[in-house]
Amino acid sequence: MPDPYNVLGVSPCADDAEIRQSYLALVRRFPPERAPDEFRRIQGAYEAVKDLRSRLRYFLFEPSRGETLEEWVAQLRAENAGARWSLERVRRLYCPRSGAGHGEGSGG
């Protein structure tokens, strides 16, 4: 699978709104009726990184492992007893220039 961020033309630290905006622009440019292969490629990239949960899954897991995001977070919690791990905390560790809340920071 090609890098979904390259396909969508966004930074790995882009927020949900930036990713969706780029996706919609590409879908308008490559509609399924005129460019079905390119549309499928764009759709696949968007599905891989469309929200925080999907982005974390894309970056933190080897697809062949079959581990779910919830299992991984539970394992992190068990290995780091007392530490409070959340999806947002993992995002902040991965994209430190991003803001703490959704929609903040653009990173790059």
Kindly report, residue by residue over 58-93, the tens digit of the pLDDT.
777 645 445 566 666 676 667 666 666 666 676 666
Owning domain of residue 21 = 1-50
Nearby residues of 77 by Cβ (< 8 Å), 6 or more positions away: 83, 84, 85
Q: Token pair for residue 77?
A: 């919690």
State the burial class of residue 9 (Cβ atoms within 10 Å of its Cβ: 0-12, 13-18, 19+). middle
Summarize pLDDT for 46-62 with one digit per residue, the tens: 998 898 888 777 777 64
Q: How much is the pLDDT for 30? A: 96
Considering the domain boundaries, does residue 58 fall inside one? no
pTM over 0.75: no
Helices 36-49 and 16-29 pack at an angle, to 10 degrees, of 170
Kindly report the CATH number assigned to the domain that includes residue 13. Answer: 1.10.287
Total Cβ atoms within 10 A of residue 55: 25
Considering the domain boundaries, does residue 56 fall inside one? no
**The one-letter amino acid at 18:** E
**DSSP 8-state secondary structure symbol assigned to residue 27:** H
Q: How much is the pLDDT for 35? A: 95
Q: Count of domains in the chain? A: 2
Q: How much is the pLDDT for 101? A: 43
Mean pLDDT (the chain, rounded): 75
